[in-house]
A and B are shown apart, each in its own frame.
Chain A
Amino acid sequence: MGMTQKQETIHKHFFSDMSVMLGRSMRHIFRSMDTIITVTIMPIAFMLLFVYVFGGAIQTGTANYVNYLLPGILLIAIASGISYTAFRLFTDVQRGIIERFRSMPIAPSTMLWGHVLTSLVSNAISVVVIILVALIMGFRSSAGILSWLAVFGILALFTLALTWVAVIPGLTAKSIDGASAFSYPLIFLPFISSAFVPTRSMPLVVRVFAENQPVTAIVDTIRALLAGQPVSQEIWVALAWCVGILLVAYIFAMRAYRKRVS
Chain B
Amino acid sequence: MARKLQVAKERRKVGRGTPDPGRTQEKLAITDRYEFFKAWRLMSRRRLLYQKENIVQNIAIQVKDLQKSYKKLNVLKGVNFTVEQGSIFALLGSNGAGKTTLINILTTLLKQDSGTAIVNGFDVASKPDHVRQSLSLTGQSAAVDEILTGRENLIMIARLRHLNQPRQVADELLTRFGLTDAATRRVSTYSGGMRRRLDLAMSLVGTPPILFLDEPTTGLDPEGRIEVWKVMKELADGGRTVFLTTQYLDEAEQLADHIAILHEGRILASGTLTELKKLFPPAKTEYVEKQPTLEEIFLAIIGKKEVLQ
Contact = CB atoms under 8 A, between A and B. Distances in A.
Interface of A: 1, 3, 6-7, 9-10, 13, 16-17, 20, 23-24, 27-28, 31-32, 95-97, 99-106, 261-262
Interface stretch (B73-81, B154-162, B232-240, B255-263): B154-162
Contacts of B152: 27
Given A99-B109, A99-B139, A13 B130 contact: no
B63 interface: no
A16 B144 contact: no
Contacts of A32: 147
B143 A97 contact: yes
Interface string B211-247: 0100000000000000000000000000000000000
Interface of B: 1, 107-111, 122, 129-130, 132-133, 135-137, 139-148, 152, 156-157, 159-162, 186, 202, 212
A105 B109 contact: no
A10 B1 CA distance: 20
Contacts of A27: 147-148, 152
Contacts, number: 73
Nearest to B203: A100
Contact of B159 (A10, A16, A31, A99): A16
A24 B212 CA distance: 25
* Chain A CB within 10 A, most for which of B111, B141, B144, B162: B162
Nearest to A29: B147
Contacts of B142: 96
B148 A24 contact: yes
Given A103-B107, A103-B132, 12 more contacts: A13-B162, A20-B156, A24-B145, A27-B148, A27-B152, A96-B139, A100-B137, A100-B157, A103-B109, A104-B136, A104-B160, A106-B160
13 contacts: A6-B133, A17-B160, A24-B145, A24-B148, A27-B148, A31-B186, A32-B147, A96-B142, A96-B143, A99-B109, A100-B157, A101-B160, A105-B161
Given A96-B139, A104-B160, A105-B161, A7 B145 contact: no
Contacts of B156: 20, 23-24
A105 B132 contact: yes
B129 A7 contact: yes
